[in-house]
């Protein structure tokens, strides 16, 4: 019998560590996947004057992203073809979000930084909460 030393170039510190991490709150990011059409993880935050949408899009530059608004539906599409044609390095995202009522669609602005797409969605002046002083 021939014995061959198994010498993988790297491995996780310990499979037990991963189980331990899961059990005690050290979680693995699961919000995005490569190699297939997927749904990116999203947060929606409501402020006094605007909504802020945050979308995880790591690995994508702004030229790979397409953001469209159709009435009250905001659609984000992302496509990045791989140079080496391997499925594992291709990225495809798509997500449509129903926007809340009372927004100013003309004032929507988006920025991309460190793999997070941040979309500022201003509320229309009618929808903003106004404080009324009592005389």
Partner 1 sequence: MENTATAPSIIQASTRVPYHQVETIDNGQRLRVFLPGAAKDTIELNVESSKLILTASVIDNTLPANAQIVHQEIDSGNFKISFELNDRIDVEKITAIYENGVLDINLHYIPETIKSISIA
Binding site for partner 1 (CB under 8 A): 7-13, 18, 21, 25-34, 41-48, 51-52, 54, 56-61, 88-89, 100, 112, 114-116, 118
CB of 50 to partner 1, least distance (A): 9
For 37, the token pair is 């059409």
CB of 68 to partner 1, least distance (A): 20
Contacts of residue 5, Cβ cutoff 8 Å, sequence gap at least 6:
none
Decide if 62 contacts 112 (C-beta within 8 A): yes
Q: Which residues pair with 91 in a beta bridge?
A: 80
CA distance 56 to 91: 12
CA distance 74 to 97: 5
Find the length of the chain.
Answer: 135
φ, ψ for residue 64 (rounded to 5)?
-90, -5
CB of 38 to partner 1, least distance (A): 11
CB of 44 to partner 1, least distance (A): 4
């Amino acid at each position: 019998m021939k014995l061959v030393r198994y010498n993988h170039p790297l491995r996780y510190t310990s499979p037990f560590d991963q189980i331990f991490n899961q059990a005690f709150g050290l979680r693995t990011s699961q919000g995005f996947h490569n190699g297939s059409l997927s749904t990116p993880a999203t947060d929606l935050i409501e402020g006094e004057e605007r909504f802020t949408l945050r979308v995880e899009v790591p690995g994508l530059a702004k030229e790979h992203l397409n953001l469209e608004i159709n009435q009250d539906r905001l659609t984000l599409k992302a496509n990045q073809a791989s140079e080496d044609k391997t499925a594992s390095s291709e990225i495809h995202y798509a997500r449509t979000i129903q926007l809340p009522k009372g927004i100013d669609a003309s004032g929507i602005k988006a920025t991309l930084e460190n793999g997070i797409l941040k979309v500022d969605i201003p509320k229309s002046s009618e929808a903003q909460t106004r404080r009324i002083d009592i005389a």
